[in-house]
């Protein structure tokens, strides 16, 4: 069990950071003008697929602006998202280059994802596994991030059980001419990075090009990584979202090594070591993508949007699956995937209401080959494809003053197919996903408006093509006998959720103010897919209940001082089986992130962040746990005109902690061994940038 001081530390750290700006405020006059527009009044599209004031939504919604991203001591998209409540990240490599998202108690363990990532509204998850390549969008190329927390199948279909994250890319060319920006960085563990972006107006169009390169040796042994990402985009020269056609071409090449989990022996583990069985585990992936988006608005109000995306990737990977704490099955894996996605949607005003209708279709084709490492001998091979079709509609409006009502429905059909000659007839999945919600502006004072919302929704997640058809055969030790962890009989995971929340702005006397967002939810999930140790394959073996509360607070004390705080409290427990009432593995019951931003002088600003997570259980019986963790980060930023520099340190005190793990039975000692993926050590980064 964790020590009491470990449980108290998150609250002590939070109080300490909250006290910093209060002390500074007592020594300086507050500036009555806010540093930027009120955050709760910002328009977001992630909640409803059309622009809605953040505080008018019927779901828990968060926003990170470019100013937030510049100030945070974060170098990747996943690290920046740590400041959003309800969304947590753990690391596979200990360096932050292979993050795994946990959203409202949903954890894919690196095999799938319960978070949908969209880039300018276009889905970015892999079709075969549902996984997200979080490094696909370098943080330098992001203008803002919108996050919808909770189920959103009514708008996004499959894979949106935990959260939807929409990244709005950054434009290099301002209106009126040629522009660019360049950044170089050096960091711990022999890390180096280069970012370059240039843009120009071509009549009524704007052309932007970016190149990003990043490499490092890694905090742990055998965790080297490097990535090259390029993009070219063309769109209207007006602000993003204007009418017209826009297109984007992108290519990335990524290489990374996997150090694997390490055993805990005598109460400790080698945080910088790697597992010997993973000595050859590495991955090379090349991805190319082309997308086109269009928008046309009519003078009397209707608007038609469309988007098409074609994506291809080729991946070569050596991957080990541990069978005992010291022994694993290692195979070379070759994957190729081609995916086509399209969506069209119409927004039609109907008096005081807005009718939103659309259709979405996606096709994925894949090929997988497993070979013997070192020899190239073919072991197994598989091919397959999947078609998805979604039809959706939603009506929203205000029947009376201050009250906004939303009601919608979506129908999804998912048709996976295994092309193996001996494959049985593939199953198809169908799902209706309704949502009803209400948002009441209970206070309309311009200085302190307040909104409360309530919503009910149903959502689903279909089994991935990997979970259904992966052909990897694992030897059992008996001659000619193998097992497969995939299961063609899997059913979709289905959920029902209710949520209530409050958005409130509070004046703090004169210029200072606070913006608060509080949400509480309960979600019931049936047929949850998990790995069944009895059959050693995936199965619909879990029914769970996810309950939690999330707080987001932004306190602006002056132009120079701002504090944000994100708190996540949640329980994800079994509803059935002998483990009923037990917390699910690797899901922390609490997480806190507090950030204080202080403009020390006109060109210099300081950011301090405290990040704490509660304990996580390593087994379904809740007998063994990883203790909670606490980490402090800091960044100092200097900017004069177009020249800027930032020095940041993550995990200032080099705290040792385990990110996540599991128990694995050792037949030699006849006991379970704790296998741990260690967290990141102290990381130092220096960046110099020129441009806008």
The predicted pLDDT at position 589 comes to 94
Residue 277 Cα distances to 98, 206, 326, 372, 553, angstroms: 19, 50, 7, 15, 45
Give the confidence band of 239 by pLDDT, cuts at 50, 70, 90: low
Least confident of 276-280, 299-303, 569-573: 299-303
Q: Could you please report the per-residue DSSP string of 615-663? A: -EESSTT---EEPPEEEEEEEEEEEETTEEEEEEEESTT----EEEEEE
Q: What is the DSSP letter of 135?
A: G
Per-residue pLDDT reduced to its tens digit, 181-220: 999 999 999 999 999 999 888 877 889 999 999 999 999 9
Tell me which residue of 492, 465, 491 sits closest to 385, measured CA to CA.
465
Pairing of strands 671-678, 658-666: antiparallel
The predicted pLDDT at position 31 comes to 42
Better-predicted residue by pLDDT, 49 or 533? 49
**The dihedral of CA 108, 111, 114, 119: what is its sign?**
positive
Question: Domains, the chain, ranges and CATH?
Answer: 4-170+178-266+284-691 (2.40.170.20)
The predicted pLDDT at position 437 comes to 97
pTM for this predicted structure: 0.93
Give the confidence band of 424 by pLDDT, cuts at 50, 70, 90: low
Query: Which distant-in-sequence residues (6+ apart) come within 8 Å of 665 by Cβ?
Result: 324, 671, 672, 673
Q: What is the 3-state secondary structure (H, E, C) of 273-329?
A: CCCHHHCCCEEEEEEEEEEEEEEEECCCCCEEEEEEEEEEEEEEEEEEEEEECCEEE
Please provide the average confidence, as pLDDT, over all residues in the chain.
89
CB 260 within 8 A of CB 279: no
Per-residue pLDDT reduced to its tens digit, 112-134: 899 999 999 999 999 999 999 99
Please say if the pLDDT value at position 241 is more than 70.
no
Average pLDDT in the 388-403 region? Answer: 95
Q: What three-state secondary structure class fits 77? A: helix
Better-predicted residue by pLDDT, 28 or 625? 625
Q: What three-state secondary structure class fits 5? A: helix
Least confident of 9-18, 44-53, 543-552, 595-604: 9-18
Polymer length in residues for the chain: 692
Q: Could you please report the per-residue DSSP string of 148-204? A: EES--HHHH-TT-SSEEEEEEEPPS--TTS-EEEEEEEEETTTEEEEEEEEEEEETT
Give the confidence band of 19 by pLDDT, cuts at 50, 70, 90: very low
Distance separating alpha carbons of residues 59 and 453, to the nearest angstrom: 8
Give the confidence band of 649 by pLDDT, cuts at 50, 70, 90: very high
The predicted pLDDT at position 16 comes to 39
Please say if the pLDDT value at position 226 is more than 50.
yes
Please say if the pLDDT value at position 237 is more than 90.
no
Please say if the pLDDT value at position 12 is more than 80.
no
Please say if the pLDDT value at position 485 is more than 70.
yes
Distance separating alpha carbons of residues 391 and 127, to the nearest angstrom: 19
Better-predicted residue by pLDDT, 235 or 645? 645
The predicted pLDDT at position 147 comes to 96
The predicted pLDDT at position 205 comes to 84
Least confident of 198-212, 228-242, 537-551: 228-242
């Amino acid at each position: 069990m964790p020590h009491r001081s470990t449980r108290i530390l998150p609250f002590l750290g939070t109080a300490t950071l909250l006290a910093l700006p209060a002390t500074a405020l007592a020594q300086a006059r507050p500036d009555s003008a806010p540093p930027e527009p009120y955050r709760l009044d910002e328009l977001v599209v992630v909640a409803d697929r059309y622009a809605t004031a953040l505080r008018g939504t019927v779901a828990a919604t968060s926003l990170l602006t470019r100013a937030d991203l510049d100030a945070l001591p974060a170098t990747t998209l996943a690290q920046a998202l740590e400041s959003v409540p309800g969304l947590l990240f753990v690391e596979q490599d200990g360096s932050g280059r292979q993050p795994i998202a946990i959203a409202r108690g949903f954890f894919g363990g690196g095999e799938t994802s319960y978070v949908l990532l969209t880039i300018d509204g276009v889905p970015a998850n892999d079709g075969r596994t549902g996984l997200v390549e979080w490094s696909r969008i370098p943080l330098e190329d992001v203008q803002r991030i919108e996050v919808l927390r909770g189920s959103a199948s009514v708008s996004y279909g499959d894979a949106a059980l935990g959260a939807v994250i929409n990244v709005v890319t950054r434009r290099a060319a301002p209106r009126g001419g040629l522009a660019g920006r360049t950044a170089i960085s050096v960091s711990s563990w022999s890390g180096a990075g280069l970012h370059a972006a240039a843009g120009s107006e071509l009549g009524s169009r704007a052309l932007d090009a970016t190149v990003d390169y990043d490499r490092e040796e890694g905090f742990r042994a055998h965790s080297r990584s490097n990535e090259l990402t390029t993009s070219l985009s063309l769109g209207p020269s007006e602000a993003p979202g204007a009418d017209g056609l826009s297109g984007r071409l992108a290519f990335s090449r990524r290489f990374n090594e996997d150090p694997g989990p390490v055993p805990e022996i005598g109460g400790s583990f080698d945080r910088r070591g790697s597992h010997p069985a993973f000595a050859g585990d590495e991955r090379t992936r090349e991805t190319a993508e082309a997308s086109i988006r269009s928008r046309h608005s009519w003078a009397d109000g209707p608007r038609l949007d469309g988007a098409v995306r074609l994506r291809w990737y080729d991946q070569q990977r050596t991957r080990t699956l541990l069978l005992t704490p010291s022994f694993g099955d290692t195979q070379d894996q070759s994957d190729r995937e081609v995916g086509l996605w399209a969506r069209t949607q119409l927004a039609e005003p109907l008096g005081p209401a807005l009718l939103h209708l659309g259709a979405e279709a996606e096709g994925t084709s894949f090929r997988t080959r497993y070979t013997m490492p070192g020899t190239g001998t073919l072991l197994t091979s598989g091919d397959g494809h999947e078609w998805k079709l979604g039809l959706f509609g939603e009506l929203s409006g205000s029947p009376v003053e201050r009250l906004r009502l939303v009601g919608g429905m979506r129908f999804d059909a998912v048709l996976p197919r295994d092309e193996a000659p001996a494959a049985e007839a593939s199953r198809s999945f169908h799902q209706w996903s309704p949502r009803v919600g209400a948002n009441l502006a209970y206070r309309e004072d311009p200085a302190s408006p307040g909104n409360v919302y309530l919503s009910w929704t149903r959502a689903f997640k279909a089994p991935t093509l990997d979970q259904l058809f992966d052909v990897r055969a694992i030897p059992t030790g008996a001659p000619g006998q193998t097992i497969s962890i995939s299961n063609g009989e899997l059913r979709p995971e289905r959920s029902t959720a209710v949520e209530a929340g409050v958005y409130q702005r509070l004046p703090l006397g004169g210029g200072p103010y606070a913006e608060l967002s509080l949400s509480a939810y309960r979600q019931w999930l049936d047929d949850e897919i998990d790995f069944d140790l009895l059959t050693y394959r995936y199965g619909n073996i879990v029914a769970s209940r996810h309950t939690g509360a999330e707080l987001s607070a932004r306190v602006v004390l002056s132009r120079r001082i701002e504090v944000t705080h994100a708190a996540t409290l949640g329980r994800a427990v079994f509803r059935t089986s002998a483990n009923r009432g037990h917390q699910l593995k690797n899901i922390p019951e609490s997480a806190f992130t507090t950030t204080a931003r202080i403009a020390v002088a006109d060109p210099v600003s300081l950011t301090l962040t405290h990040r704490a997570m509660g304990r996580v259980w390593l087994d379904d019986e809740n007998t063994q746990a990883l203790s909670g963790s606490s980490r402090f980060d800091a960044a100092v930023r200097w900017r004069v005109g177009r020249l800027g520099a930032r020095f940041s340190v993550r995990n200032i005190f080099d705290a040792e902690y385990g990110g996540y793990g599991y128990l694995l039975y050792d037949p030699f000692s006849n006991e379970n061994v704790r296998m741990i993926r260690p967290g990141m050590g102290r990381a130092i980064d220096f960046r110099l940038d020129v441009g806008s």
